[in-house]
Structure 1
C-alpha cells in the first residue's frame, strides 16, 4: 500500500488492541474497557484501516492475531507506554490545581457524572468537585451567571456557552403505558401529532424547549403543550404517567429511569440528541473548568464517531 495513504492511529485504538491481544475475545475485551462490543469492534477495524494491515483473524469460534498483529505488538506497547509517561508528566504539573469547581446536572445520579468526577478527583486530589442539581430552567442561567462552573446537559445551548460533545443518542417518546402506541417498538412524529407535549416552565431556553418537543414537526405543524410548567425531569414524566401528555427524551432513559405507568418507545424520524459538557465561554480556561474539560475529553475519545449511547448508561462490570 502507498505509505502516503496511511493515517496515524490513535493511542486509544492501540490500547484497545493490546487488551484484545490479551483476551483474544471481543466481548471480554469490550467489557474490560466498559464500551459496547460493536463500538470496540469498530475501533479495531479503524485501526486496521489506519495501518493498512489485518491484525486479527476473526471466526465464530476464536480470535487470533495475524502475523502482522503479532509483529506490531512490541512497537504498539512502546507507543502506549510513551503516551502514559507523557500523561504522567502532564499530571505532575496539573495536580497542583486547587480550589473548587461546581458541576451541575439536572440528574446528578447519571453514571457518567460519577465517572467524570472520579477521574477529576484522581487527577487533581486537591481540587474540590461539588455536584449541584440544576433544573431545566437553571442549567443555562446558572452557567452564565456563575452559580456553576460547568453543566452536563444536552444540546442545544444558548449563546455564550461552549461545549464538548460526549455522545450521540437516538430519541424516544415517554408515553403512558396504557396508550395504544406504548406497545409499539417504534413510532413516527406524525403518529404523535395529536398528543400534547408536557409543558415546561417559561424560563426554559426556547431553542432547547423546541428541540425536545420537535416543535415544529416535520410538516411544519406547531406542537400543542399542556398547561404544566415542569422544571425537572421527574416532574415531567410524572405528568406523563398521569396521562397528561408525552415527553421526547434520550433513548438512554429507558435503562436509566424505568418508572411504573410509563413506556419509552423509539421515535424513528426524530433527530438524534447530543450530550455535552458545557461551560460559559468566559470561564473556559479557569483551572477547574480546564480540569473538567480534559477529563471529559478523555472520556469522549472512545465514543468519537460512534452513535452509541452507552457512554452514559454503562456501569462497571457491564
Structure 2
C-alpha cells in the first residue's frame, strides 16, 4: 500500500522520537537510522485504516526491530576487536531526543549507554521507554506483549543494574569547556598527580579503536592507573600524528550531554574523549577513535562553526 500525504506526514512527525528511541536502544546512530527506515517500510505496507493509534503502532514496530538488532549486535560484539563503545553524537543532535529531565539527559551519556549493554533486551526497552520517554507500564506491556506486573518487575531490575550511587554534574557549553580545559592542562602537564586530583578513586578508562587504532581489551580501573595511562596517551609524538593523519587541533565540546575533548585534523574528527563528571570527580573517561563511529560527528563538524581551539596544532 502506498503512503499518502497524510500518512507520510504522520510518520515524519514521529521520526525524531523514533530515532531517539532507537539510538538509546542500539547505542548507534547509524543502526538507529536503519531501524527507523525499516519501520517506515512497514508503515508503507500497512493497512492504515486498521491502525487506531499510529504512535503506538510505530513504536511497537520499531521496538521489535530493535530487539532483533540487539540480538545480532551482541553476537557481533563478541568478536569485536578491543572494547566496544556507543557511537557519540554532538549536543543538539536529534538522536539525543528529549532532554528536559536529568533522567533523559543521563540516558544518552556514553557511560550510561555502555552500562545498558549489561541489560537484557527487554530490560533495556522497558528502561528506555519508561525513563526517557515516560511511557506507562501498561503501554510498554502492550508493546512487548507482556503483563503490566512483569514490566514493572523488569523496570525495577533494570534500575538496580544501572544504579551507580553517584550524582552527575550538569554542565552547559561554558561549563564543559572549563572542565575540559582543566582536564587537558592536567593531561599535558606530564604530572600524574595532577590527573589523579581530577579523578574519582574508582575512575575507569575505556577506549574503542575498532581494530583501526590499538585499544586495550578491558577498561582500566582506579584513579592512579587511569592517570598513568592518560599521561602516556596525551604524550604526543610523530607516530601518533602519523596515525591520525596530521597535527590535530583540540576543541572542547559537549558530546552525549557530557564535556568532551574533540581532536580534529582538517575537517576530520579523529578522536573524541568524553568525561563523565560527578560530585566525586571524573568517574569515567571514554576514548573513541574508531573511524566508523565518527562519521556522523565528522559530518556535523564540517557543517557547523566552531569556537577557538584549546590547542591549535598539537
Identify whether the pair has TM-score above 0.5, normalized to the shorter chain: no
**Higher normalized helix content (fraction of residues):** 2
Q: Radius of gyration: which is bigger?
A: 1
Higher relative contact order (CA 8 A, sep 6+): 1
TM interval, short-chain normalised? under 0.3
TM-score, length-scaled by structure 2: 0.27
